[in-house]
Amino acid sequence: MIQSSARLLQLLSLLQLRREWTGPALAERMGVTERTVRRDIGKLRTLGYPIHASPGIAGGYQLGAGAQLPPLLLDDNEALAVALGLNSVAAGPVAGIGEASVRALAKLEQVLPARLRPRFATLKAAVTTLPSNAASVDPHQLTVVSAAIADRRLIRFDYAKPDGTTDRRTAEPYRLVDTGRRWYLVAWDLERGDWRTFRADRIASLPSATKKFVPRPLPAEDLAAYVQRSVTRSPYRYDVVVRLFAPIGEVAALVGPQLATLSDDGGSATLLHAGWDSLAQPAAHLASLGMEFEIISPPEFKEYAATLAERLARSAGVPAGAGATPQ
């Protein structure tokens, strides 16, 4: 019985290792007959593992997806990676996943081999994840969109605009990008005939997948970099452009790529492009950098900064116009 159970675990591990195996290849790898392989495949199926078999010389066995999640075999590094991933996801922006990840992590820690527990405890103690203040995303929506991307199917959904209104969108989905702060969908918008970067937290309805589409060339080879450039503009109410009077290396040390796009402006200055829904946010962030800067656009931000400067001066008891430095 022990030998049979060990053989089943070995067979399951092999099926998870490679997409497809022939019967003779499995038999040779395990040191058994093909008849034993077929019998063990049948046992795994009774345990709930969906193992598909294709006939013929070129056929073989393939581990598929089933209605229930059967046990998985993980090596040491895989187990540590999953545990650390669950630990960080608990503080992520996906709604409802935090509690589920904590439950899954508790189950995984319970069955971790004794040799791995000290390593995981050390890694867990050394890694701290700051909680996200971004709007939460429905995991069911991400699942539906991911399936549509894999199947190359159009999706229809309601999308919330910055002014609070919604409109119906039909799009070809190509990639979901997680910036750490928010999730974005890169898609071809059929009504507008152009590429769009949709904020996942603004998808106001469960997307519905429709007919298949023929993939078109992507707007960039690196979609993560494409999203990083896009999020400084279209998804937000205000497109802020500021000139910071400091070299780009100094600015980059304080402003992460998930927040803004930086470009060199003559060596001693840096142009910052960033998207914001509220003008109070860039004002506070720029003031915290401790650098001289010039607001280029939008005009609303210049007006807001002037009003804020007067308010701060009054709060400090400084007469109007006092202490102003000519430009």
The rounded distance, in Å, linking the Cα atoms of 302 and 295 is 6
| Greater pLDDT, 187 or 16 | 187
Look-up: residue for tokens 């400091």? 246
Is the pLDDT assigned to residue 174 strictly greater than 90? yes
Question: pTM (2 decimals)?
Answer: 0.51
For the stretch 274-322, pLDDT in tens is: 888 889 989 999 999 989 999 999 999 999 999 999 998 888 887 766 5
Identify the burial level of 15 via C-beta atoms within 10 angstroms of its C-beta, where 0-12 means exposed, 13-18 middle and 19 or more buried.
buried
Segment 76-98 mean pLDDT:
66
- Please give the structure tokens belonging to residue 267: 């060596």
Indicate the DSSP class of residue 294. Answer: E
State the number of CA atoms in the 13 A half-sphere of 167 facing the CB.
Answer: 10
| Greater pLDDT, 250 or 77 | 250
Beta strands of the chain (E only): which ranges?
51-54, 60-63, 153-160, 166-178, 183-189, 194-199, 208-212, 238-244, 261-264, 270-276, 293-297
Q: Which amino acid is it at 211?
A: K
Nearest to 134 by CA among 240, 41, 236, 51: 236
| Greater pLDDT, 232 or 145 | 145
Please state, for a pLDDT cut of 70, what percent of the chain lies above it.
Answer: 79
Q: Lowest-confidence range among 190-194, 233-237, 272-276?
A: 233-237
Query: How much is the pLDDT for 67?
Result: 46
* Most confident region among 94-108, 128-142, 219-233 by mean pLDDT: 219-233
* Most confident region among 45-54, 84-93, 263-272 by mean pLDDT: 263-272
* Ordered strands of the 166-178 beta sheet: 194-199, 183-189, 166-178, 153-160, 208-212
Segment 55-66 mean pLDDT:
73
Is the pLDDT assigned to residue 208 strictly greater than 50? yes
The rounded distance, in Å, linking the Cα atoms of 106 and 86 is 10
For the stretch 127-170, pLDDT in tens is: 666 555 556 777 778 888 888 888 899 999 999 987 788 999 99
The rounded distance, in Å, linking the Cα atoms of 223 and 231 is 12
